[in-house]
Each structure stands twice: as C-alpha cells, then as structure tokens.
C-alpha cells in the first residue's frame, strides 16, 4: 500500500427535490452575488432552470447567467466567463449540469482569482493558489466532477484537451437528485456508466499490491454500476438504479477508489487526445473504445490483477489466471456493447489510420510517456490505437 492523502470535502445533498434548497444553501454560506453556468436548453425543458431561479430569487441571491457551456468545455468560453465574473465581483459559481458545466465552472473559479491566462492551469505552467467557491446541481451521472479534484478544458485552436488536478477544484457542495437524470437518453446514460467504471478501473489497474479494502470498494462500485446499468437500459426512470449510478459517479472519482494505490488515469489521457481531436466523440464512447484495447495490450504485465478483476467483478470461474484475465476483459467489452457503446474506432466513424496522429498528440510529439503497468510511449500508444 502506498501512502496517501484523502481529502474530499464536498458536502453532498443527495435525494429527491434537493435542487429546491439551493437558494437556502447559498444564502447560509453568505454569498449574495453568484454566477450560474449551464449548457444548452435541456435544463429549461425539464423545468429545472425555473425551479433553481425561484429558489435563488426566494433567497435574494443575485444571479449572473452564463449559459451555453459546450460538451468538452472550451477555454474560450471560460475566458469570457472569467471576465464577467471579475466585472460583476461574483462570490461563487453555481454549475447546473454535468461534468462539462462543472469543469467550466471550476476553471472560471480559479481563473477569476489570477491575472494570467486560465489555460496555464491545463498546460501545467501554473497551479491554482486560490479559487472562488463552486457549487453544483448535477444533471448527469458520469464525470464525477461534483466531488473530484480535476477539471478538463479543450483549446480548439491547438486541438488540445487537457485536465489538471487541484484541491481548489473540489466543489463546496453538490446537489444530487437522481430524478434529474431520468431524461438523459440511453446513449448518454451508457456513456456515463462507462466513464464511472473507467474512473474506478484506472485506479484499480495500477502496479500496487496489498490494498484489499480499496480493491474491494472499487469492485463494489463496479458491480453496483453494472447491475444498475442493466436496469436503466430498459427502465430509465428506475429511481434506485439512477441513484446507485449517481452516487457511484461521485465515489468513483473523489479518490476513495485510489487510496493507497497509484493514480495514473492512463486511458483517460489517451481518450482526451481522441475527443480533443475529434470533438464529436463523447468521452464515455471514447473510453469504451480505448479501455478494452488498452487492457488487451497491457494485461500480460499483471495477469494476477486482471484475473482478480475477472473473478471479483465479472464472476469468471476460470482457474487458469491468464485465461481468466482475458475472459474478464471480454466481459467488460461485451458489457459495453450491451449498453450500445462502440468498442471500435470504426463504429464512431474514425479510421485507425489516425493512430499515428493520436500517438503524437498523446505524447506531445514524442516528448512524454504515460505511466501505466508499463510506460506507454509513442510506439505503444500507436499500437493501442491500431488495435481499436
């Protein structure tokens, strides 16, 4: 077991109708002027926008609106939001949406407290030293951004999608009402499930031994999400299944599943290159394509761990460890398919002739490698993309 720091200070309000308490919650913190970020029209269609605005108004909160956050949130939008936040002296940011809206809000919150360009956090040139508080009302169970320390931005001008971690990226509060995800369609529900599983598996598949408690919690999250995911494919308004997936979303990425383990997120880094270059690729779909290929390439470096995964998560009974490991990966791939997820690049309309370009993007033109069971260098990453 590795040493670790665990710090997940987000206060989670979980359950039905909790969004109606948002004004009271913000008032109790003492904030009077806030910025509210959201995406397109979907929060208006489900009536959420009106309920939130009413709660804020009832509690005399002044709201500066910034709608229009896009999937794979863009740094250009964040730059504009920072300008507005500074001009209006907003005291906190309220994100109403999924991971993109929350990430955009986190970057705005940190950018509003500094004088340099916000992309420097993503590029690694700077780290946040302060940030406005961020609260969120979650409408999509997927990214885990509501409790995570990470934020991911995209700069289309350089085709780059980059994440950065910081304690200042932790939301102060998160309002999680599973009913708000009833209207999420089957494809996006499935993308979310893959993302949640990926956050858990990224930490599970690292070269550290002797973390039985963390392993077992990770396996619990995976099994619960798999069971709930099967239910949601035919019964999208099943409260208990939506609730299980939503809570798993938070736990999968608040670092609980990584305690004592290495924290690499290798497949996420490959996927960020993919959806950074091909903006139409949903993050979860990109992960569904890349995870099985990465696993097939890498499992030989830790057959014991992959066979543990097969036995404890997928209930594979095979006694030969290597065969068992392979069957576990096949189960994962079959499950992704059963959710209607793509598992090849071709299915998402991308030729694997792009493998070279992807490998260059992932390695910043061969200037870095990515940590995993073995270091993923340009050649290996190209191979993995070719396998997709």
Which residues contact a second copy (rule: CB under 8 A)?
1-16, 18, 210, 212-214, 216-217, 219-221, 223-224, 227-228, 239-240, 243-244, 247-248, 251, 256, 259-260
Q: Are 103 and 151 in contact (CB under 8 A)?
A: yes
Q: Which residues contact 148 (CB under 8 A, 6 or more apart)?
A: 169, 170, 253, 254, 255
The residue among 100 and 249 lying less far from a second copy, judged by its C-beta, is 249
CB of 319 to a second copy, least distance (A): 19
The residue among 15 and 349 lying less far from a second copy, judged by its C-beta, is 15
Q: Which residues contact 276 (CB under 8 A, 6 or more apart)?
A: 72, 154, 159, 160, 161, 162, 361
Please state, in angstroms and rounded to a whole number, the distance separating the CA atoms of residues 333 and 292: 6
CB of 164 to a second copy, least distance (A): 20
Helix H or strand E segment including 25: helix 22-29
The residue among 72 and 214 lying less far from a second copy, judged by its C-beta, is 214
Please state, in angstroms and rounded to a whole number, the distance separating the CA atoms of residues 229 and 245: 8
Q: Are 106 and 132 in contact (CB under 8 A)?
A: no
CB of 211 to a second copy, least distance (A): 8
Distance of CA 124 to the CA centre of its chain: 19
The residue among 252 and 343 lying less far from a second copy, judged by its C-beta, is 252
Residue with tokens 């992704």: 336
Q: Radius of gyration (Cα) for the chain, nearest Å?
A: 20
Q: Are 200 and 179 in contact (CB under 8 A)?
A: no
The residue among 17 and 334 lying less far from a second copy, judged by its C-beta, is 17
Strands 33-38 and 92-97: parallel
CB of 183 to a second copy, least distance (A): 20
CB of 261 to a second copy, least distance (A): 12
CB of 86 to a second copy, least distance (A): 27
- Both structure tokens of 174: 């998160």
CA nearest to 85, candidates 36, 143, 139, 48: 36
The residue among 255 and 333 lying less far from a second copy, judged by its C-beta, is 255
The residue among 251 and 339 lying less far from a second copy, judged by its C-beta, is 251
The residue among 223 and 296 lying less far from a second copy, judged by its C-beta, is 223
CB of 60 to a second copy, least distance (A): 23
CB of 210 to a second copy, least distance (A): 4
Intra-chain end-to-end CA distance of the chain, in Å: 33
Please state, in angstroms and rounded to a whole number, the distance separating the CA atoms of residues 246 and 20: 18
């Amino acid at each position: 077991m590795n040493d670790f720091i665990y710090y997940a200070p987000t206060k989670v309000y979980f359950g039905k109708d909790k969004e109606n308490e948002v004004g009271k919650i913000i008032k109790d913190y003492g904030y009077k002027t806030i910025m509210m970020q959201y995406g397109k029209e979907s929060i208006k269609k489900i009536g959420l926008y009106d309920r939130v605005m009413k709660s804020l108004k009832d509690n005399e909160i002044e709201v500066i609106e910034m709608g229009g956050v896009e999937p794979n949130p863009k740094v250009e939008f964040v730059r504009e939001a920072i300008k507005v936040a500074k001009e209006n002296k907003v005291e906190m940011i309220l994100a109403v949406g999924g991971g993109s809206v929350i990430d955009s809000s986190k970057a705005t919150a940190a950018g509003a407290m500094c004088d340099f360009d916000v992309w420097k956090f993503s590029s690694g040139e700077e780290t946040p030293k302060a940030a406005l508080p961020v609260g969120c009302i979650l409408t999509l169970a997927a990214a885990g951004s509501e409790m995570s320390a990470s934020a991911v931005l995209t700069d289309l001008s350089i085709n780059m999608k980059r994440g950065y971690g910081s304690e200042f990226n932790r939301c102060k509060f998160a309002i999680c009402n599973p009913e708000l995800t009833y209207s999420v369609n089957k494809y996006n529900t499935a993308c979310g499930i893959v993302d949640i599983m990926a956050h858990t598996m990224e930490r599970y598949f690292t070269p550290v031994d002797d973390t039985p408690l963390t392993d077992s919690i990770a396996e619990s999250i995976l099994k619960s999400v798999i069971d709930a995911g099967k239910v949601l494919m035919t019964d999208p308004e099943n409260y208990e299944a939506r609730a299980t997936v939503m809570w798993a979303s938070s736990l999968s990425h608040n670092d609980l599943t990584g305690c004592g383990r290495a924290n690499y997120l290798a497949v996420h880094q490959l996927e960020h290159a993919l959806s950074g270059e091909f903006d139409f690729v949903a993050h979860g779909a990109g992960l569904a394509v890349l995870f099985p290929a990465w696993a097939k390439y890498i499992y030989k470096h830790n057959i014991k761990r992959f066979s543990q995964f097969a036995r404890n998560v997928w209930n594979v009974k095979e006694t030969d460890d290597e065969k068992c490991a392979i069957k576990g990966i096949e189960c994962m791939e079959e499950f992704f398919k059963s959710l209607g997820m793509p598992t090849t690049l071709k299915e998402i309309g991308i030729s694997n002739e792009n493998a070279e370009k992807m490998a260059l993007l992932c390695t910043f033109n061969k200037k870095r490698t990515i940590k995993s069971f073995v270091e993923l260098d340009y050649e290996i990453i190209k191979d993995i993309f070719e396998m997709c």
